[in-house]
Amino acid sequence: MPRTEPNAPHETQAQWFATTQWTTVLTARDPQSTRAAEALEKLCRRYWPPIYAFIRRRGHGPEDAQDLTQEFFARLLEKSYLDAADAAKGRFRTLLLTAVSRFLVNERERARAQKRGGGAVHFSLEADAAEGGYRVEPADPATPETIFERRWAETVLEAVLARLRREFKDAGQPDRFDILKPFLAAEQQAPSGAEVATRLGLSESAVYSAVHRLRQRYGELLREEIAHTVARPEEIDEELRSLVRAMSA
């Protein structure tokens, strides 16, 4: 299993919170910072899927939603939306949800047409991925806010899986990850331990140990990703519960 021994919990959390999402927010809103644009792009790439899903659920078609999502993030600095960001007042995604709601109220067709693809921030929205990630049928009773929360949760989980896959790849074991990954999701069609043992050339007991380590590492990375969305370590468990609720909504 490609992993190093974890640090003590308090040491690990201290490392996480040295570079939390709030640090990125503070950098992005500082006009004097030479890294403001880089920081804002980082925020855009993390939060555009839930923002896009929220805008789509508000009744906008795919093309308009892409334009509005680009424009919203372009205005984050221009209109000082981030000035209200305060780690003591709540989660950053809550601030974003409030900001995008106000943005949609104030935005007009003329502004969308004139500023399509413009703004101070340039990052490419993957249109197919954006629409594919939306995955909401017209009859779905979920509110825009619920869709936002669900897509946020999915984005976090996707980031965790991507990091875990990268660890296996860096260790020269990408195939092992693909074989063991079904055990993370408890898929109904997950292979048996005996089948996996044959494919990996391991004993069944070694396979179960590998699955245990995989799940443990997944949990560590999930907590670390969550740490980038809250202000204090004690909020991690609460946010994990929010993630579970969002995925089950």
pLDDT tens string, the chain, 249 residues long: the values are 454 334 444 444 444 444 455 556 656 566 666 666 666 666 677 788 999 999 999 988 899 899 899 888 877 766 566 666 555 555 777 878 888 898 898 875 555 456 555 544 555 556 555 566 665 545 567 899 999 999 989 988 998 999 999 999 999 999 999 999 999 876 557 788 899 999 999 999 999 999 999 999 999 999 988 877 676 777 889 889 999 999 887
Judge whether 227 and 236 are in contact, CB under 8 Å: yes
Sign for the CA dihedral angle at 229, 230, 236, 237 comes to negative
CA 163 from chain center: how many Å? 12
Torsion angle (degrees, nearest 10) of CA 229, 234, 235, 239: 90
Judge whether 154 and 72 are in contact, CB under 8 Å: no
Global pTM? 0.71
Phi and psi torsions of 7, nearest 5°: -70, 170
Q: How is residue 222 written in tokens?
A: 């999930």
Q: Looking at the chain, how many residues does it have?
A: 249
DSSP annotation of 6: P
The Cβ of residue 27 has, within 10 Å, a number of other Cβ atoms equal to 19
> In 3D, which of 130, 136, 124 has the Cα closest to residue 73?
124
Residue 122's contacts (CB-CB under 8 Å, 6 or more residues apart) are none
- Position 190 scores a pLDDT of 75
> In 3D, which of 132, 204, 221 has the Cα closest to residue 168?
221
Q: How is residue 165 written in tokens?
A: 């896959």
> In 3D, which of 46, 69, 13, 14 has the Cα closest to residue 151?
46
> In 3D, which of 98, 106, 103, 53 has the Cα closest to residue 73?
103
Q: How far apart are CA 77 and CA 101, in angstroms?
A: 17
> In 3D, which of 219, 239, 241 has the Cα closest to residue 230?
239
Q: How far apart are CA 111 and CA 116, in angstroms?
A: 8
